[in-house]
A and B are shown apart, each in its own frame.
Chain A
Amino acid sequence: MGARNVGAVVKRLEDPRLITGRGRYTDDIVLPGLLELAFVRSTEAHAGIKSIDLAAARALPGVVAVWTLADLGPAAQKPMVQSYPSPAIKQNITQHPLAKDEVCYVGEAIAVVVAENRYVAEDAAQLVAADYEPLPVVIDAREAVKPNAPQAHRGTQTNLAATVVWKFGDAAAAIAGAKHVFRETYFQHRGGPHSMEGRAVIAQHDRATDQLTLWSSTQSPFLVRRYLAQYLGREEAGIRVIAPDVGGGFGPKAGHYPEELVAALVAMKLGRPVKWAEDRREHFLTTTQQRDQWWEVEVACEPNGKVLGLRAKCTHDNGAYLPYGLLLPMTTVVPFPGAYAIPSVEVTLDVVFTNAVPNTPIRGAGRPNAAFILERTMDTVARNLKLDRAEVRRTNFVRKDQFPYETGARLPTGVTIQYDSGDYAGCLDMVMKSSGYAAFEQKRAQAAKEGRWIGLGLASYNEDTGLPPYEGATVKVLPSGRIAVELGSCSQGQGLETIAAQIAADQFDVDPQDVIVKTGDTAGPALALSTVGSRVASTAGPSVHVAASQVREKAIRLAAQQLEAAEQDLDITKGAVHIKGVLDRKVMLGDLAKRLVSGINVPLPPGFTPGLEATAYHTTQRPVYANGSNAAEVEVDIETGEVKLLNYWVAHDCGTLINPMLVEGQIVGGVVHGIGNALFEHMKYDRESGQPLTTNFGEYLLPLATEMPPIHCEHMETPSPVNPLGVKGAGEGGTIPGISCIVSAVEDALKPLGVKINEYPISPEQLLALIDEKRGGD
């Protein structure tokens, strides 16, 4: 039977509970005897802790305990597990669950209060008095990496955590021998994730069974279980981690946090369940962020714009700790050469410690950063050689006939980088046509007559989605005949329940709305890793397909026995297995399921194992490559520096679309996220004191509905040959090129002045300063 739900707009299974207020987010969960936690957090960016006075806090009515690291037991005195160990890490510094004797960023937790409710817990937290010994503070990673720089950690000789090099071909030779070499520097600023639900965790320890259970607003229940087991020295079997409804993740919820560990330790020590729900201030101070990256880029090219080599040096601020290993730095360098067939690339990235919140991947991880460098570089080549920006891209794109394309790069694991499929120039063509690129100069001239400055930006990208190796799935037929799917993977809004239901439903011709889908529980039958990097649709999706196909095959094999027919003469219609063309000679799936669980002293049918169910893993060795192009039309107010977003176009190829409505939602959401990063979101720290300067939603600006342009999406479907559904990932396709596209558009609007924009976010004040520079002040 053909696919009917895959590819269709199917309304989401998640919606009925979420639109009626019946979602179950971690903070909604109530357990008998639940206590609440509040953390006492450092007000210093870098200090030694001389003493902490807990007496007043402990005396407050309603407070059950106030503890520092020393109180949490011998198992807790060591730093947290390194999530992504690597031999390239020179200084593997991770946080302790609570600070030991030193704090390295404002907000680092030094004590935990356990109380009847959050109000009392906060009252007690305020009564804790810490005596700090100030230590040198370093915020600017460029300063931190100089000789004799202030050390972000007491006792270290250098702030360098690692140097990552990504190299193929011979960029030095290309630069030495090229007709044209252009040099630019760029600055990509810090920003935060700001899922609307903050982090949250409930920990419960059952002393009778020694079972530790965590509900956590996480993207990675299986990884959290793994790291807890490693840290606590417990069996994974004695730990269960559940991701309930999660209100957005965007990356930072994929890691393992001190608060999860402290909650577990407190629950075990007290024998009572405890909850911690992050408030927005804590999110600003302690949820991991992204960027502050300084780049020096050299590009060598021919007179026709063909890029021969790219060499770049990046100083990357990783914040005070390295909880996520080198994942973020790697996702910054590995994307090179992006959508372009650049023969020689050399990117050197210094991973630097500073006294700010640690940085880990946020939507797109390092890919938007890499795309920014690649796209600005293409614009630089075009500008300097006076070539058309789109033509320069076309000259450099990987061509359709070059797939599968080996870039020449190789991962530390030895796996080569190979792009499986795509039509890069095709997507650019689509978006140029939709945005009216060819006629834009006329439009600009007309606008100029009216005193208006408009610009059109372009950006292209590709993305390694569906990172290997697996996300498993279990599909069952229940005695009632309904289909149930269980995934270890979990969603934070991407609609995983819906696409799993669509894929499973196609094997049994049932309504996806009737499929029961459970996700995100380590106690489930299928193993999983993490929902990051647009990987789940193309890993869990095919696993659902394979598991559902196996169940279908088993059902048909059993029905063939019962109906005394050949398997190839059977089909499944609306949950009934029947002889093709003869609907009334049938057996219901539910009955087949009951037959296969049998009963005492009732033999199973010959040749059959128990249960009408299957667990399957579609495993992959390589990511699958999605791609796209964006165009943006903007208007700049030359007197104030304000940018108005007029229109936005996306041409996107994520292979087979399981649910076009969900893909479009991801793209539009991603574009707006990119707009936020390009124009609005700037996480600021004071360079001297290390105090964060933007710690509320009035100071840190997220994109609102009123400033967003209409966003038009078009799709190209180049199915991936790599998995049975042909699916590629879609979650970051708007964010990765978004920043570049907007910056390119603003720069284009100011083309008559020759303004160059080499950093983001760009505020009206900064833009006005650039305009003034070119116009000689006002």
Chain B
Amino acid sequence: MTDRRTIKLTVNGLRHEREVETRLTLGDFLRRGLGLTGTHLGCEHGVCGACTVHLDGEAVRSCILFAVQADGAKVTTVEGLAKPDGTLHPIQQAFRDHHGLQCGFCTPGMLMTLAALLAENAKPTEREVREAISGNICRCTGYQGIVAAALDAAKAVAKGA
């Protein structure tokens, strides 16, 4: 008999109630249970950051959290970054403008990490941006476009976009 629990949580503004195995990771719950495949699993040992989501507003690694730990919480994934009318978050638009992605696999994690940074610090320095994404590995871009995107998005966020 597998160990199961019922969890209730809000994901991207929608409430869900599901029964899950207690060992199911939050990342797998989002991808398999809710069909939100935007969150990616790159390493499943808490280093690459591709799985980054927001748990009650904070950037966390969903591959080393269990879904049961999110019971009662508010989760935001990359699918919930843009406004309901489709208006992109400044960081999403900036990634497009500055070629901040190539294969796109690390991108959701990067976006969630940077969205959290900008929510806390609207005027980051380049060093602060690089430190913020030091927990996200990108094999394609060399980070330069990502950093440029983040600094550009900060301007928009500071303006109140």
Contacts and interface: CB of A to CB of B under 8 A. Distances in A.
A195 B103 contact: yes
Interface stretch (B3-11, B54-62, B67-75, B139-147): B139-147
Interface string A631-662: 00000000000000000000000000000011
29 contacts: A12-B99, A19-B78, A19-B88, A19-B101, A20-B88, A21-B36, A23-B104, A25-B105, A28-B31, A119-B24, A194-B139, A195-B103, A196-B42, A196-B140, A197-B103, A247-B103, A247-B106, A248-B102, A248-B105, A280-B44, A493-B104, A669-B139, A672-B141, A696-B45, A696-B47, A697-B48, A702-B139, A704-B143, A705-B136
Contacts of A706: 130-131, 134
B97 A665 contact: no
A734 to B, nearest CB: 8
Given A194-B139, A702-B139, 20 more contacts: A12-B99, A19-B88, A20-B78, A20-B88, A21-B37, A30-B35, A119-B24, A196-B105, A196-B138, A197-B103, A247-B103, A247-B106, A280-B45, A493-B103, A668-B141, A702-B137, A705-B129, A705-B133, A705-B134, A706-B130
B137 A14 contact: no
Contacts of B35: 30
A665 B102 contact: yes
B40 A705 contact: no
A673 B102 contact: no
A117 B2 CA distance: 14
A710 B142 CA distance: 10
B21 interface: yes
Nearest to A279: B44
Interface string A694-715: 0011100010111010110000
Contact of B102 (A495, A696, A711): A495
Nearest to B92: A19
A247 to B, nearest CB: 3
A123 to B, nearest CB: 10
Contact of B104 (A11, A247, A664, A668): A247
B145 A248 contact: no
B96 to A, nearest CB: 5
Given A196-B42, A280-B45, A706-B130, A18 B141 contact: no
Contacts of B124: none
Contacts of B81: 20
B102 A669 contact: yes
Contacts of B31: 27-28
A15 interface: yes
A22 interface: yes
Given A665-B99, A665-B141, A280 B105 contact: no
A642 to B, nearest CB: 16
A697 B41 CA distance: 14
A521 interface: no
Question: Ordered nearest first, which 5 A-B pairs have the shortest CB separation?
Answer: A21-B38, A247-B105, A493-B103, A18-B104, A493-B102
A668 B36 contact: no
Interface in B113-133: 129-131, 133
A120 B157 CA distance: 45
A661 B42 contact: no
Among B42, B134, B136, B139, chain A packs the most CB atoms within 10 A around the CB of B139
B49 to A, nearest CB: 9
B99 A664 contact: yes
Contacts of B145: 665, 668
Contacts of B47: 696-698
Nearest to B112: A21
Given A196-B48, A495-B102, A15 B95 contact: yes
Contacts of A708: 130, 142-144
B43 interface: yes
Interface of A: 11-12, 14-16, 18-25, 27-28, 30, 117, 119, 194-198, 245-248, 250, 279-280, 492-495, 661-662, 664-665, 668-673, 696-698, 702, 704-706, 708, 710-711, 734
A28 B134 contact: no
Given A14-B104, A21-B36, A705-B147, A697 B99 contact: no
Given A20-B92, A30-B35, A664-B99, A697 B104 contact: no
A119 B50 CA distance: 20
A311 to B, nearest CB: 36
Interface string B75-113: 001110110000010001001110101111111100100
Contact of A18 (B24, B36, B101): B101
Contacts of A247: 40, 103-106
Given A697-B137, A705-B130, A711 B96 contact: no
A705 B117 CA distance: 15
B18 interface: no
A705 B108 contact: no
A19 B77 contact: no
B23 interface: yes
Nearest to B145: A665
Nearest to B82: A20
Contact of B23 (A119, A195, A248): A119
Contacts of A705: 129-130, 133-134, 136, 138, 143, 146-147
A22 B80 CA distance: 11
Contacts of B23: 119
A15 B96 contact: yes
